[in-house]
Structure 1
Amino acid sequence: MHVPAPLRRPLPVALLLMAAAQALFTWRLTIPHRLVFDEVHYVPAARTLLALAGHTNIEHPLLGKTLIALGILLFGDGPAGWRALSTLAGTATVGGVFWILWLTTRRLRPAILGTLLALFNFTLLVQARIAMLDGFMAAFVVLAVAAMLWAMRGPHATARWTLGAVLLGLAAGTKWTAIPYVGYAALAIAILRHRDPARWPGLSVVRAWLILGLVGGVTYLATFAPAFFYSDNPLSIATLLPFQLDIYHQQTQVLSAHTYQSDWWSWPLMLRPIWYFYDVADGAQRGILMVGNPVVMWGGLVAVAACLWGAVRRRNVRLGGVAALWLGSYLIWAIIPKSLGFFYYYYLPSLWLPIVIAVAADHWRRALREWDETLLIAAATLFLWFYPILSAAPLAQPDSFRRWTLLPGWN
C-alpha cells in the first residue's frame, strides 16, 4: 500500500495523532453539565484561586488548580472552562508517548502502535475529559521523560535535560506523586552514562543532578507564585518552605473509608475501578467509568514480564528501561504514606504499558509477525464497545451499566 511521503516522517504522524486525540477529547466535552467526581474539590479550589481569595485544598500544590482556573478564565465558569485544559493535557500526553517511542525505537510502526494503544486504553480518554490534577501531572511527567530521552543523543544535551527538569518541577507542582521521577532520572543518567559515556554528550552526571535539583526545585517553588498575592494570609519567602509541611500533613492524614477505595496491589488487575459518574443528566441516564482497556492493561503486564526477561537474559537496556518505567511508577505506591488508595492513582503507570507493549512488539517483531495488528484491533474493538460509559453518552435505562461490568468489583 502506498503511504504518502509526509506520513513516513515522525512529525506529521505525531501531529495527526494529536489532532485526532484532541477532537476525540473535545467531542461533547460539556456533558454532563455539572461537576463530576473530584471536580467538586478542584473546580471550587480553582475559583478561589482565580479570585486570589486565600488558601484552599492545600493537600496538593497549586499548578493543577491554576490550570483549571486558566480554563475558567478563558472559556467561562462552566463545563467547557472546567475541562478545556485537561483535553490539552491529554493531547500533550499522546504526543509525549509518540515522542518517547520514536526516540526509543527510531521506527514509526512501534511509535504509532504504542500511541494508539495509549489512546484506546480508556484511562487517557476519561482523565482528558475531567477537571482533575492527575491528567496535568501525567502530561508533564511523560513530556519530561521524552525530553530527557531527546537529550541522550546529539547536540544540546544540557538544554534538553534542563527542559526535562523544568517539566518535572511542573509535574511536582501539580501533585507530589511526580517527585519520585526526579530520583529515577538521577539514577537513570548515572547508570546509563556509566554503561555508555557517549549518552548525553557534554552533560556530566554531576551537572545533570544539579540541574534536576536546582532547576527542578526552583520551578516547583515558582508554581506557588499566585499564593503570594492572596488577599487572606498570603505566602511569603519566609513561609513558603514551612507551607510544604502543611501539604505533607494533609497528604498523610488518616481519611474515612470510601466506597471506591482499593489497595495498590489490586490496580493492575482492575478489581475496583471507579464510577466517576452514574446518574440522570442532560435528559438521559449517563455514566463515566474510570477503568482500563483489558487488552492493554493485562496484555501490558505480559509485556512487562517479557521485557524483564529480555533485559536479564540478553542484557538489553531498552527492554529493561521501559519495564523499569512501569515498575518504578507502580511500585512506589507500596510505600507512599496514603491512608486510602484509589484506582485513578494508577493512571500514570497505565500510560507506560502501551509503551512497554510497543517496544516488546518491536523487539520480537520477527517472531510475533502481525501480532501487534491483532492486538491493536482487539483494543480498538473494546474501546468502541466501552465508549458510551467512558464519555457520558446516553444510556438506554438505569441498569445499563451491567452490560460493561465484567468483574464483580466493577458494579
Structure 2
Amino acid sequence: MALAVMERRQQEETVPAAPAKDRYRWWGPLAVAVFAGVLRLWNLKSPHAFVFDETYYPKDAWALWHNGYESVWPDNANQLILGNPQIVPLSGTGTFIAHPPLGKWVIGLGEWIWGLDPFGWRIAVALLGTLSVLMVARIGRRLFRSTLLGCVAGLLMAVDGLQFVLSRVGLLDGVSAFFVLAAFGALLIDRDRTRDLLRAARAEGGRAADEVRLGLRPWRLAAGLLLGAACSVKWTGAPVLAVLTLLVLLWDQAGRRAAGAHRAWRSMLRRDLWPAALSLPVAGLAVYLLSWTGWFATDGGYDRHWADGQPGSWVPGPLRSLWHYHAQIWEFNTHLTSPHTYQSNPWSWLVQGRPVSMYWVQLTAGQDGCTAPDGCASQILALGTPLLWWTACFALAYALYRWFFRRDWRSGALLAAVAAVYLPWFQYQQRTVFSFYMVVLVPFLCLAVAQMLGAMLGPAGSPPSRRRWGAAGAGLIVAAIVGCFAFFYPLYTGQVIPMSEWHTRMWFESWV
C-alpha cells in the first residue's frame, strides 16, 4: 500500500510543468473577464450614497491622498460630499484607524482621477474585481491543465453575488482578495518553473537534486510582495502569508524528492528555507512598512509623535510610535464586541446563513417610480450566489477526499488557501464579525467547484457516453448557478422592486 501511494505521488509530481498551449488560452479567460467587467462597471455610480462601510474608507482615502494620513472629518461630511464634494472641509488632524493604509491608497487612486463621488471611490475596486476573474481563469488553467475548467472557474466567480457586490463598493475586502489571489497565482508559476529546474537536475543523475540551487525565483518574490500588500490592506493577510510560506517549502521538498533527491527534507531545509523566508515574510514586512510611508513622511498622523516624550531607546522614535499605534489597532480589532444587526458566526458563512444588508431603502407606492400598491424596496445584499456556495461545500469535501486519499497536490493547495482565509475567524467567537469577509475565499471556492465539475466530465480517454453525461451534469450545474445569480441580481445592484418580489428572494428568515 505504501509503495502504491509513493508511486502515485511520483506520477503526480511528474505532471507536465505547464498546460499545453491552445488557441483559447488567453481568449477564453479574456472573454470571461470582459463579461465580468461589464457586470461590475455597469451603472457603478448607483446608488448615489455611502454603502455600509463606505462611510469610512473613501473619506480616509481622500485624506491620505491629500494629507498623507487619515484625518478627522466633520459630522455632516457624508451629506456635504454627496451634495458638493468641492466644498467639503478636510481637517489636518489625524484620526485613529483600524486597518493599514494600502487599501485606502488604492481606493483613493480612483478618487484622485474621477473625484470624491461614488464612481470615484468604487472604480478601483471594480477594476481589481474584474482582474480577479481573469486571474481565476488563468490560475484554473494552470492548476488543472485545462482552459475549459479555468474558464468555468472564472465564469463562476463572475456570477458570484458576494464577489460581485464587494467589487462594486468602496470597501477594503475586495482589494485584499485581489492581492491574495495574485500571490497564489504567482506561487503556482514559481512551482512550475522550479520543477523545470529540478527535472533538469534529475537528468544529470547522482545527487544533483540534493545539491542544486534554485537561484533567484522572481515569481516567489512577487508573491511575497503581493502577500505583504494583502497584509497592508487588512491584517487578515498575515495567516495567508504564513500558510503559503509553509506550502511553498512543502512544494520544494516534494519537488526535490520527485527529482530523485536522497534527502529531500534536509536539502529543502539547507537550500530553500532561508531564501523562502527572505522572499515571503521578509519581503512582505518590507511592503507593509512602505505602505505607511505617508504616515512616516508627515507629522500630523495619529500617534505620529507618541514616542517623543518617552524614554530613549535604540529603536527610532517613529518606529516606536508606530508600534504603539499598532497595539491600539490590535486591541480594537480583537475586542470589537458591539452588537450589530448583521453580524454572524463563521460556522454559518459557507452556507450563507446571514448575509449583510449594505444598503436599504423602502419606498411607498408612487415614490421614486414605485408602482406596487404594497410598496417597493431597494437593497444591496452581500449574499454569495446560494447555489454556488452550497455546491462549493460539496466541492470542498471532494477536494479533501482527493488530497487525503489520492495525494492530489492541487486539492491540497486549494484547501491550504481555504484554511488560511477561513479558519482564523473561529477564534473570534465573541467578536463582531460579518460573512462578507469571505470574499477573499470566493476564488478558491470557484476553483474547487471547477475541479469537481472536471471530475464529473471524466478524463480525456473516457468513453463518449461517459463524457456526454458528465458534460450534461456539469453544464446543468453551471447553468443553475448563472440563473441563480440572475434571480438575485436586483438585490445585488439596489434595483427598486416590489416588496412581493423582495420577499420571494428572502429564502430564509435569517436573510431578512
Aligned equivalents of 1:182, 1:237: Cα separation in 2? 22
Where does the alignment leave 5 or more consecutive residues of structure 1 unmatched?
1-5
Residues 54 and 227 of structure 1 are in contact (CA less than 8 Å); yes or no, is this contact kept in structure 2? no
- Given the alignment of the two structures, is residue 44 of structure 1 paired with residue 59 of structure 2, yes or no? yes
Q: Structure 1 residue 390 and structure 2 residue 492: aligned?
A: yes
Q: 1:61·1:247 contact (CA, 8 Å) conserved in 2?
A: no
The runs of 5 or more residues in structure 2 that have no matched partner are 1-20, 68-91, 195-214, 260-267, 305-317, 370-376, 459-465
- Matched AA of 1:227: W
Per-residue CA distance 1:83-137 (angstroms, 9 max, x = gap): 0101011012112212221121121111011111111111111000000000000
Residues 234-243 or 212-221, more deviating:
234-243
Aligned-residue CA RMSD (Å): 2.4
Tell me which residue corresponds to 2:284: 216
CA distance in 2 between partners of 1:177 and 1:338 (Å): 17
Q: CA deviation at 1:19?
A: 2.2
Partners of 1:381 and 1:337 lie apart in 2 by: 35
Maintained 8 Å contact 1:34/1:79: yes
Mapped to 2, the partners of 1:233 and 1:133 lie a distance apart of 20
Which residue in 2 is equivalent to 1:138? 177
CA distance in structure 1 between the partners assigned to 2:64 and 2:116 by the alignment: 13
Counterparts of 1:93 and 1:24, CA distance in 2: 14
1:355 to 447, 470, 474: 447
Aligned match of 1:369 in 461, 470, 493?
Answer: 470
Structure 1 residue 10 corresponds to structure 2 residue 25: yes
Given the superposition, is the C-alpha separation of residues 403 and 56 from structure 1 closer, same or farther in structure 2, using an over 3 Å criterion?
A: farther
Whether the 8 Å contact between 1:54 and 1:230 is mirrored in structure 2 is no
Q: Does 1:173 align with 2:232?
A: yes
Residue among 158, 162, 165 paired with 2:217: 158
Over alpha carbons, which structure has the higher Rg?
Answer: 2
Q: What amino acid sits opposite 2:66 in the alignment?
A: A
Could you state the TM-score of these two structures normalised by the residue count of structure 2? Answer: 0.74
Q: Which residue of 1 aligns with 2:413?
A: 321
For residues 32-181 of structure 1, the aligned pairs below 5 Å read 32-52=47-67, 53-154=92-193, 158-181=217-240
SS in 1 for 2:378: strand
- Structure 1 pair 56–363 and aligned structure 2 pair: CA distance change class (3 A): farther
SS of match in other structure, 1:387: helix
Taking the TM superposition and a 5 Å limit, the aligned residue runs for 1:291-310 are 291-310=383-402
Q: How many Å separate the matches in 1 of 2:276 and 2:448?
A: 26
- Structure-1-length-normalised TM-score: 0.92
Task: Work out the CA distance in 2 between the residues paired with 1:321 and 1:148.
Answer: 10
State the Cα deviation string for residues 374-407 of structure 1 (Å, max 9, x = none). Answer: 1110011111111111012232x35542121111
- Deviation readout 1:343-398 (Å, 9 max, x if unpaired): 11222123311110112222452267112211110011111111111012232x35
Q: Which moved more, 1:327-336 or 1:50-59?
A: 50-59
Which of 320, 340, 347 is the matching residue for 2:432?
340
Q: 1:233 to 1:139 in 2, by over 3 A?
A: closer
Task: Please point out which of 283, 288, 294 is paired with 2:368.
Answer: 283
The answer for the alignment partner of 1:3 in structure 2 is none
Residue 270 of structure 2 corresponds to residue 188 of structure 1: no
- What is residue 482 of structure 2 aligned with on the other side? 380
Q: Is the CA contact 1:137–1:171 (under 8 Å) kept in the aligned structure 2? A: yes
Task: Provide the aligned length of Structure 1 versus Structure 2.
Answer: 404
Question: Per the alignment, in what secondary structure is the counterpart of residue 193 of structure 2?
Answer: coil
Counterpart Cα distance in 1 of 2:280 and 2:335: 29
Q: Which amino acid aligns with 1:169?
A: G
Amino acid at match of 2:323: L
Counterparts of 1:81 and 1:406 in 2: how far apart (Å)? Answer: 34
